[in-house]
């Protein structure tokens, strides 16, 4: 019993520690935890205000429609909240209209319900309504229930109109709260995607260059590298989604104007960097295929060549490491550091090329990997150079714009 009680106490302490760490992160910096806290708080506020209006002020028969609607359209961006609220209102109006038309024509019987359900579900598949399509049937079912419980045509018509009114109230309150109370900006979503891809690239290069220093990697090792490079497709998609969400967060958002004067570089630079990182990961994948050559014949020149190549990959990893800490507030010094590290990587690439010349290694013979690896190193370096120049340009432009706004 004592041992069981001790284990339970340790589990409880562990849970409390996790909760405490969650709150510390939420209070310390603007991350996922603070976003979660902010969304919960805003949804609670919107639902409460909607309930007060629908139940306290209007004394509605079904006041829950308003807070439900307010929470439903509390989206990740203000623009998406507006778009989804329009679709949601359209879906509700369509569902109520179907019920009203059939109800007054055929009466509240089972056949009417079947017709209402079929028509509402068909309308719900209209692509214009998007994810709100199922709400057509939901609204129609609630409207049918309200219609059957009311007595008299005037009372039924009033009850159906009340549903639409409550949905409009809820959507209006939800949008107002989303706009006026800490409207969501997702600038950092673009940075997070770039950081994530850069971490993947840096980790892969960090595993590759120590192995190459020791000699020719075995087939299992190179196959593992290829598999890791191939798995980045999903991460690239997530990074692009984060960038698109960040760009969307500017639309209809009152916070977009003051933020610009803080020197934010905009999203064009981030989009260029993301594209360069995507191409870089493809180049690394091609590079790993180049390393997976036939091992039937050993070449004494491969060891020294691979040592120089490992130095190039190590320098490339240092470039990727800078991108893992990309931050709009320190973009200019980071861009300058990235440019210096790219120069170092270029020097290591030149050492690789010089090694092939010194040993007269064939760059055109497809049976040996030297030409392929030198080509992939050059392409990789070009992407790093492009990235450093893009960040330098946007950082300097943002710095000049910030200075002009202060004047």
pTM score of the predicted model: 0.55
Give the Å distances, CA to CA, from 160 to 144, 148, 151, 171, 173.
Answer: 9, 11, 12, 17, 20
CA dist., res. 70 & res. 178, Å (int): 10
Q: How many residues does the chain have?
A: 407
For the cut 80, the answer to whether the pLDDT of residue 13 exceeds it is no
Give the pLDDT confidence score for residue 291 in this predicted structure: 75
For the cut 90, the answer to whether the pLDDT of residue 313 exceeds it is yes
How many whole angstroms from its chain centre is CA 220? 33
Determine the average pLDDT of the residues in 21-46: 74
Determine the average pLDDT of the residues in 112-117: 93
Tell me the pLDDT tens digit for each residue of 262-290: 444 455 667 777 777 788 888 888 888 77
Tell me the pLDDT tens digit for each residue of 198-226: 888 888 899 889 988 887 777 788 888 88
Give the pLDDT confidence score for residue 66 in this predicted structure: 93
Token couple for 78: 């203000």
CA dist., res. 34 & res. 31, Å (int): 5
For the cut 50, the answer to whether the pLDDT of residue 177 exceeds it is yes
For the cut 80, the answer to whether the pLDDT of residue 298 exceeds it is no
Give the pLDDT confidence score for residue 91 in this predicted structure: 95
Give the pLDDT confidence score for residue 123 in this predicted structure: 96
């Amino acid at each position: 019993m004592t041992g069981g009680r001790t284990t339970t106490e340790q589990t409880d302490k562990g849970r409390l520690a996790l909760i405490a760490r969650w709150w510390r992160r939420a209070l310390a910096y603007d991350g996922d935890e603070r976003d979660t806290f902010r969304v919960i708080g805003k949804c609670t506020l919107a639902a409460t205000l909607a309930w007060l209006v629908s139940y306290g002020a209007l004394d509605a028969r079904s006041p829950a429609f308003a807070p439900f609607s307010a929470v439903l359209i509390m989206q990740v961006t203000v623009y998406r909240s507006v778009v989804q609220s329009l679709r949601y209102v359209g879906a509700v109006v369509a569902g109520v209209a179907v019920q009203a038309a059939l109800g007054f024509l055929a009466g509240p019987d089972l056949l009417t319900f079947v017709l209402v359900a079929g028509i509402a579900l068909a309308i719900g598949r209209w692509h214009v309504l998007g994810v709100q399509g199922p709400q057509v049937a939901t609204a129609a079912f609630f409207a049918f229930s309200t219609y059957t419980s009311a007595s008299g045509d005037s009372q039924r018509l009033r009850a159906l109109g009340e549903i639409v009114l409550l949905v409009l109230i809820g959507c209006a309150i939800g949008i107002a709260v989303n706009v006026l109370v800490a409207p969501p900006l997702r600038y950092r979503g673009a940075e997070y995607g770039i950081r994530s891809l850069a971490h993947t690239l840096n980790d892969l290069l960090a595993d590759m260059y120590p192995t190459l220093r020791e000699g020719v990697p075995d087939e299992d090792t190179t196959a593992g590298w290829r598999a890791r490079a191939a798995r980045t497709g999903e991460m690239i998609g997530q990074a692009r989604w984060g960038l698109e969400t960040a760009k969307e967060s500017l639309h209809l958002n009152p916070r977009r104007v003051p933020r610009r004067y803080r020197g934010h570089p905009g999203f064009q630079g981030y989009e260029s960097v993301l594209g360069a990182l995507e191409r870089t990961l493809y180049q690394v994948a091609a590079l790993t295929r180049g390393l997976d050559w036939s091992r039937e014949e050993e070449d004494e020149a491969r060891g020294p060549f691979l040592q120089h190549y490992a130095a190039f990959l190590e320098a490339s990893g240092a470039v990727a490491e800078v991108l893992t800490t990309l931050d709009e507030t320190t973009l200019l010094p980071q861009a300058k550091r990235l440019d210096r590290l790219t120069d170092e990587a270029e020097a290591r690439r030149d050492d690789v090329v010089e090694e092939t010349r010194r040993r007269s290694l064939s760059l055109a013979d497809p049976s040996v990997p030297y030409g392929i690896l030198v080509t992939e190193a050059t392409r990789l370096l070009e992407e790093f150079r492009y990235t450093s120049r893009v960040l330098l340009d946007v950082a300097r432009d943002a710095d000049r714009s910030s200075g002009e706004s202060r004047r």
